[in-house]
Amino acid sequence: MSQYLDAKYAALQPYTPGEQPRDADYTKLNTNESPFAPSPKVQLAVASEVACLNRYPDPAAHELRESFATYYGVETDCVFFGNGSDEILAFCFQALCPQGAAFADITYGFYPVYCALYGVQHTLVPLREDFSLVPEDYYGMGRTIFIANPNAPTGLALSRRQVEDILQNNAGSLVIMDEAYVDFGGESAVPLLTKYNNLLVVGTFSKSRALAGGRLGYAMGSKELIEDLNRVRFSFNPYNLSRTTLAAGTAAIRDEAYHDKCCRSIVQTRAETARALEKMGFECTDSHANFLFCSHETMPAQELYTLLKERRVLVRWFDQPRIQNWLRVTIGTKEEMDKFFFELRKILRETKD
């Protein structure tokens, strides 16, 4: 730490991203990326945009906005884009939590980090014993509610009816639904936008659209909420999306067939993976995301994580109360899952005797 750092940042505990090893010989099942390359149409669009990089990008993202709004059936002025959904969540914590924030005790680890960064008071609402989120626990919160749906790292999802229940019982408060994983089997709250102006839906191109490296997130909400987000964005960085990111996002949203194919493959591999894990003595939550959350009957999760890593397979283990005996395993290609099971079987065999 230098002598120049403002004292109010000295105690910040930054978010720890999943490991990104530099050597490529890891099977990476630890950060919920897509195992598939972006659509070939995305690759072409990005390549042809490179020649224009001498010019600033369109701060209003016109083309992307049109295609996106058409895809989701919303008005173009009800859409916002950010440099990853992380940037949008940061804007939300910074500007849309005047009464503080509320979120689950087990959820996306960035929420408490943003609270610390922006000095936002937050209430932790514990998930139930089985990691389920119960709408009643959120009635009349009196602060901005953040819910990842499907949740991370549990994979459990709320129905649209349950989300509506939370919205109806928080009429005076904003409810932010983080739908990073919705395309893998969740029920989106987007159809509720016409009925509830206390709803903001946030999502990302990082997972189902295979653009984690492109950094593109979105938000949908009332025109007024989108105006608020733009007020912050234009006071910070109007060019938050590069030309190549805009080109990639536009091509990705237009290639519906490729997106559907990738999502179907993940959902199918997820079901096969869960069945195989259960046969090996794991308990899995009912994941609606592109990962499984699982716990072995005898083998401690931390040990499994370490032994898998030694064998060049990366999964995610969280050193956090309540979930210390759980692993989050991203669904990869069938070949990647074969490698995972090959090493996992060896580990379980070797440690039995």
Ligand X SMILES: *Cc1c(COP(=O)(O)O)cnc(C)c1O
Token pair listed for 23: 């050597």
Looking at the Cβ atoms of 245 and 347, the one nearer to ligand X is: 245
> In this structure, which amino acid lies at residue 2?
S
Q: How far is the CB of 3 from ligand X (least distance, A)?
A: 32
What residue is closest to ligand X based on CB?
84
Contacts of 129 (CB under 8 A, 6+ apart): none
Looking at the Cβ atoms of 57 and 84, the one nearer to ligand X is: 84
Looking at the Cβ atoms of 112 and 347, the one nearer to ligand X is: 112
Q: How far is the CB of 108 from ligand X (least distance, A)?
A: 4
Looking at the Cβ atoms of 148 and 347, the one nearer to ligand X is: 148
CA nearest neighbour of 36 among 237, 330, 324: 330
CA distance 186 to 162: 12
Mapped onto helix, strand or coil, the DSSP state of residue 25 is coil
Residue 298 gets which letter from DSSP? S
Q: How far is the CB of 330 from ligand X (least distance, A)?
A: 11
Q: How far is the CB of 148 from ligand X (least distance, A)?
A: 4
CA nearest neighbour of 154 among 118, 177, 129, 122: 129
The DSSP result for 30-41, as a single string, is SS---SSPPPHH
- The H or E element containing residue 259 is helix 256-279
Contact 127, 293 (CB under 8 A): no
Residue 78 gets which letter from DSSP? G
Looking at the Cβ atoms of 148 and 329, the one nearer to ligand X is: 148
> Within 13 A of 241's CA, how many CA atoms are on the CB side?
30
Q: How far is the CB of 154 from ligand X (least distance, A)?
A: 11
Looking at the Cβ atoms of 206 and 222, the one nearer to ligand X is: 206
CA distance 321 to 312: 26
Looking at the Cβ atoms of 185 and 347, the one nearer to ligand X is: 185
> Within 13 A of 199's CA, how many CA atoms are on the CB side?
21
Site residues for ligand X per CB under 6 A: 32, 84-86, 108, 148, 152, 178, 180, 204, 206, 212, 217
CA nearest neighbour of 252 among 10, 54, 63, 25: 63
Pairing of strands 27-28, 313-314: parallel
Q: How far is the CB of 55 from ligand X (least distance, A)?
A: 25
Pairing of strands 313-314, 327-330: unpaired
Contact 293, 29 (CB under 8 A): no
Looking at the Cβ atoms of 42 and 148, the one nearer to ligand X is: 148
CA distance 299 to 281: 9
Looking at the Cβ atoms of 84 and 135, the one nearer to ligand X is: 84
Q: How far is the CB of 152 from ligand X (least distance, A)?
A: 4
Q: How far is the CB of 307 from ligand X (least distance, A)?
A: 25
Q: How far is the CB of 94 from ligand X (least distance, A)?
A: 15
Contact 121, 256 (CB under 8 A): no
Q: Phi first, then psi: give them for residue 209, nearest 5 degrees.
A: -105, 15
Looking at the Cβ atoms of 127 and 344, the one nearer to ligand X is: 127
Q: How far is the CB of 53 from ligand X (least distance, A)?
A: 22
